[in-house]
Amino acid sequence: MRDPLALASLLIMLLSIAYIVYSFRPFATGSENVNILEDYVKAVHYLNKSSTALEKRLAGSTSIAIDFDTSDVSEVRSSIEKYMNNLSLVYGSKDAFFVNVAKNYLYTAEGAVNSTAAYYAINSSVNGVREALHLLALCRVNEAIERFSSVEAKVLKALSSIARAISALKRIDKGFVSETHLPVINASLKRLEKSYESLYNAYTLMEIAKQYREYIELMCSGEPVNNTNALSNLLNRISEVKASGPLSIDIANAKNAIQQLLQDYMRRHGGQQGGEEGKGVGGGAGYAPPESYD
């Protein structure tokens, strides 16, 4: 009886070892045929393409386009997330190396999803933003605000999506990303940050115009304002707007035009206000006369 029992015990032990080894292989359950490395590459590809297209579209390019949409990127994101969750169960820990790799590519995919969403929001609204800034520079304040209002919801969606993309990419741990992918991710992050700052400043400038619409209109028509505090506040708010990134020229034209308007008005009505005495605030370096939409 000893030999059969020993043989049975040995067989059970071998089967148990085989089961444990198989169970702990780093494959997602039900997804062993899925090439997760391909999904990682796709996530980086989508991020790179969408952030590049976003920046160039903001800069005025009409030739740039992407051949995928948010559903394509979301599918990759979901695949990576499922793989990561299954690996966590397999390893019994969220700190295992392969789990961390998957988590960091999930951040990349999350950035790509939001970058793609931002591109599509901007693709259909950036012309309105640019036109609104030009109209504002021409002292056509009501038209400028009306034009911006028609695209404001999409601008806010783009800003929100870019902010989420930036947040996701900043969570990436460089130690768990391929060295070939890291430069692409870093470049994408920089493009998104530049795009966000530029679009945010354009939005801020139009919000200032909306808030001070009455006073800007009075100055444009040559009528007295009778509120030096409002003009001082307007001057301070305008000076805080930065003309940067892909919309820099459009922002600078509108900003400089309003500053010039304030300077001329204050000169005609008793000099500079609000601590700006003796300082020229309009017609600065880089100013270019805006195009006419007449």
Q: Which amino acid is at 72?
A: D
Given pLDDT bands bounded at 50, 70 and 90, which one contains residue 94? confident
- What are 119-174's pLDDT values in tens digits? 999 999 999 999 999 999 999 999 999 999 999 999 999 999 999 999 999 999 99
Task: Give 21's pLDDT tier (boundaries 50, 70, 90).
Answer: very low
- Given this model, what pLDDT does residue 88 score? 87
Residues 189-207 pLDDT 10s: 999 999 999 999 999 999 9
